[in-house]
A and B are shown apart, each in its own frame.
Chain A
Amino acid sequence: MNAIQTPNGFTLDNSGKRVVVDPVTRIEGHMRCEVNLDENNIIRNAVSSGTMWRGLEVILKGRDPRDAWAFTERICGVCTGTHALTSVRAVEDALSIQIPENANTIRNIMQLTLQVQDHLVHFYHLHALDWVDVVSALKADPKATSELAQSISPWEKSSPGYFLDIASRLKKFVESGQLGPFANGYWGSPAYKLPPEANLMAVAHYLEALDFQKDIVKIHTVYGGKNPHPNWLVGGVPCAINVDGVGAVGAVNMERLNLVSSIIDRTIEFIEQVYLPDLQAIASFYKDWLYGGGLSGQNVMSYGDIPEHANDRSFNNLLLPHGAILNGNLKEIHEIDLKDVNQIQEFVTHSWYRYDNENVGLHPFQGVTEPRFELGSKTKGTRTNIVNLDESAKYSWIKAPRWRGHAMEVGPLARYIVGYAKGIPAIKEPVDKLLTDLGLPVTALFSTLGRTAARGLEAQYCAHLMRHFQDKLIRTIKAGDLSTANTTKWEPDTWPQEAKGVGTTEAPRGALGHWVVIKDGKIDNYQCIVPTTWNGSPRDPQGNIGAFEAALMNTQVVNAEQPLEILRTLHSFDPCLACSTHIIDKEGKELTRVKVL
């Protein structure tokens, strides 16, 4: 094909060498990526395909809306809890249920806990190996590593002996010949820039973070009984508070509050003394690598989250900012109306679903989905052995959502761009400081590295918000308010015959919305549009490419056999494929078209 211009400003040319990465690893779920490289190994066409579908929303049809949180929570075990919270908010919106202040506070603490833990795991365990060469760490001098570590952070685990232990453990591990999860990485690629000492420090923190992340989520265990997949409740939270009387041991009591508090303290410490110094140190070696901006310099969107006060739906009440930015115009922040059928719409021209008229998009309240797995005529391979996808036809299990027709990027960077544009000090000041420290202009934010940096800064902001809400909870209890649930509309006979609602959160990966229609006490329609549906979307009828594809464009790949740069940029979005592939049939028909051929 000749080069084609997309309406959102990218020139696609699929005439060069096709490179396939499948499976894309270190993500949640299943994803495939294909790119075309020109003679200089520059990506001139990018194709991202979600390769799984589970049909959860079909399954929700006819169920009790109070149960929906448990089903939707199982959309994703990585961002565990955020779907559940979105779901209870959607049902409460539909049924006009007010929740107690303590319930809002505890929900915020749980959501922030997820945000921080997920960002930490993403940085160290899913993303770090795109920047950190584990094999190079073997060459590190432990003493020099110690000096490096102590020069950037007061973190106490930084002695030469400590790094010597890590280095010997790593050496013995490698000498065993069984490299386990580190086998066959792109080690030694010239795209890795860190000196051996920085690599060794990062490997040490990879292991420390693996130990520590399990402690952060104990906050979910206190308030929700377990993690992954804590318990939630329409109308409030299930954990009762009792700090004085008989039975306090079976409720949220002083010991439980102390446990949460101590975890929050340690979380703030870990983020500020390990995560952020590592982020800055690693970024300083890659600050010339500013690929991957994609849509971030144009169109970004955040629904906002973390309501300061219960039951206040105004945007000013949200501590993670609300708004959309179009065409990179940071001076104008648009409000998003999730119930306006002309704003958010999903398209399926390039997705494995069928609409009667595929030129139009459908709002989630009117969503129609029939899966239709069919490959384009230019596909290489067969129906069950795909060699190359044909992106001119249907090529993904992800739909293409658009806001007022625009492909949008969502996620930590989108939230931070909106927050920066709004001039929110808690967001803008740390961004400016990081950029100044690295000697980079604001435009450097619009990059793979910017995405990774925003996630780290957000982890810090959220860790401090955890402290804020935990203190607030204690203040409210002190004032005598122990209430955690409102049960006045618990029974379905108190509900209207028909109701519609929307719930949103800012999941770690970005804007998440659930749309529910309730009829006669049962779910009549349930739709989710999740962050990776926005970011990983295929093309739309106008030819606009989504955020993953846009971010890969024009990146130079050092070695086509080891396309580290592709992983780096895709991982910067923290893709979550189990989340992104969802459907509901509006008519509630069972999917009789689905059959084994």
Chain B
Amino acid sequence: MSTYPDSFYAVMRRQGISRRSFLKYCSLTASSLALGPQFVGNIVHAMETKPRTPVLWLHGLECTCCSESFIRSAHPLAKDVVLSMLSLDYDDTLMAAAGFQAEEVMEETMRKYKGRYILAVEGNPPLNEDGMYCIVGGKPFVEKLRYAAKDCAAVIAWGSCASWGCVQAAKPNPTRATPVHKVILDKPVIKVPGCPPIAEVMTAVITYMLTFDKLPDLDSQGRPKMFYGQRIHDKCYRRPHFDAGQFVEQWDDEAARKGYCLYKMGCKGPTTYNACSTVKWNDGVSFPIQSGHGCIGCSEEAFWDKGSFYDRVTELNVFGVEANADKMGLVTAGAVGVGIAAHAAVSINKHKKTETHKKDSL
């Protein structure tokens, strides 16, 4: 059956999983990726026979939260992704080799798999000071990024750093930290934003590419539609309280204990495109709103520069509800107004999102 010594199927069998369960897994994978039953066969075939696609995982300016999230994946388990589904040839956070031996591994993969490896990027390159705010092997990280990108099949921009710039690119962006798609212009870049992205979203995006040999469908901003097509607000279990005008008015009040809507506490769910309210976090245990704090919008471009996390996302009449609700009374800086206005526009028409967000970009 298995023509490859360590195919995903072979691994599952060794773990005592029956063929029947394996097929069930494939069918669940198909449905969780929103694919029809006709795709189950493709998944089965791919997982039984394919050699592992090499992945080079580079780290620029970042905090490693994306790697940490990735290893939290429950389905599939991170160990099975790393050992059986792909070949994680270079990742400075996990790899055994160091120094020149590590650099050798990267060279070899680039040579052997020219045009066929995936470049995963966590973090971003700073461009100020000749790029020397992030030095790897004595050279600017941006050089290494460009070098590794030249022969890759595609780039995955993990997290908000690689996708948008994230915290180090927040104003005044002292290092001129720059998202990957502004540096790598000649390769497809798949953005998987979030600070960090959800573990199972990360592994689903990469297994989708390995399974179907194609890039996921992307929205106008380069994000996989299957996970970033809807607002957190659209699928939030507290949405009925929003619609009914039932809001938390202050932390730990009666409404907070009853699980009312966090909109007045600054929740950015109405303007944030992500899968938190559906996939949820850490094997589905919870997500920020369920645990009582508003969404901070961490998968949105420039979410750090849109006012306080406790400011309401927009003027109240934009949503046409609870028009008389009390204001939080927070005084915000001038720039905040721009951010809020931008968000309001986004929430009305997401197709205008790209243009609107440009105001806040680097």
Task: Give the interface of A toward B (CB within 8 A).
Answer: 20-30, 32, 51-56, 58-59, 62-64, 66-67, 70-71, 74-78, 80, 121, 125, 129, 134, 165, 168-169, 172-173, 175-176, 178, 180-187, 207, 210-211, 213-214, 217-218, 220-231, 233, 235-242, 245-247, 249-251, 259, 371, 373, 381, 383-387, 397, 482-485, 487, 490-493, 521, 562-563, 567, 578, 590-591, 594-597
Contact = CB atoms under 8 A, between A and B. Distances in A.
Contact of B281 (A22, A77, A226, A236): A226
A51 B166 contact: no
A218 B82 contact: no
Contacts of B257: 240-242, 245, 247, 251, 482
Given A22-B137, A385-B138, A236 B252 contact: yes
Interface stretch (B170-178, B212-220, B312-320): B170-178
B172 A29 contact: no
Given A176-B4, A184-B96, A224 B291 contact: yes
A211 B310 contact: no
A30 B136 contact: yes
A92 to B, nearest CB: 14
21 contacts: A26-B93, A26-B98, A54-B61, A54-B168, A55-B168, A70-B309, A71-B167, A77-B62, A77-B67, A176-B52, A185-B95, A223-B291, A226-B281, A227-B281, A251-B259, A484-B252, A491-B329, A492-B330, A521-B331, A594-B129, A596-B129
Nearest to B99: A21
B46 interface: no
Given A385-B138, A487-B252, A67 B308 contact: yes
Given A58-B172, A229-B196, A222 B6 contact: no
- Name the 4 nearest CB pairs between A and B, nearest first: A250-B259, A77-B65, A247-B258, A185-B96
Contact of A238 (B129, B293, B298): B293
A585 to B, nearest CB: 9
A220 B285 CA distance: 10
Interface stretch (B84-92, B148-156, B183-191, B341-349): B84-92
Nearest to A132: B96
Contacts of B67: 77
A490 B310 CA distance: 11
Nearest to B159: A77
B338 interface: no
A53 B175 contact: yes
Contact of A28 (B61, B93, B132, B285): B93
Given A28-B93, A245-B257, A245-B258, 18 more contacts: A27-B93, A32-B135, A59-B171, A63-B308, A66-B308, A67-B308, A165-B14, A211-B77, A221-B291, A226-B281, A229-B65, A229-B195, A229-B298, A235-B251, A239-B292, A240-B256, A384-B139, A490-B250
Contacts of A182: 95-96
B64 A54 contact: no
Interface string B16-53: 00000000000000000000000000000000000110
A457 B104 CA distance: 37
A397 B259 CA distance: 45
Contact of A125 (B83, B94, B250): B94
B105 A184 contact: yes
A180 B79 contact: no
Contacts of B88: 180-181
Interface of B: 4-6, 10-11, 14-15, 51-52, 54, 59, 61-69, 71-74, 77-79, 82-83, 86-89, 91-99, 101-102, 104-105, 126-141, 143, 166-168, 170-177, 195-196, 199, 237-238, 250-252, 256-260, 276, 281-283, 285-293, 296, 298, 304, 308-310, 329-331, 333
A578 B141 CA distance: 14
B97 A183 contact: yes
A30 B251 CA distance: 39
A69 to B, nearest CB: 9
A226 B176 CA distance: 29
Contacts of A249: 259
Contacts of A373: 129-130, 132-133
Contact of A214 (B71, B92, B136): B71
B172 A591 contact: yes
B291 A74 contact: no
B252 A55 contact: no
Given A55-B174, A64-B310, A224-B291, A214 B130 contact: no
Contacts of A386: 135, 138-139
B194 to A, nearest CB: 9
A74 B283 contact: no
A76 B105 contact: no
A353 to B, nearest CB: 12
B291 A231 contact: yes
Contact of A173 (B6, B62, B250): B6
Contacts of A74: 63, 65, 166-167, 195
B127 A207 contact: no
Contacts of B139: 384-386
A212 to B, nearest CB: 11
A70 to B, nearest CB: 6
B51 to A, nearest CB: 8
Contact of B289 (A183, A225, A227, A491): A225
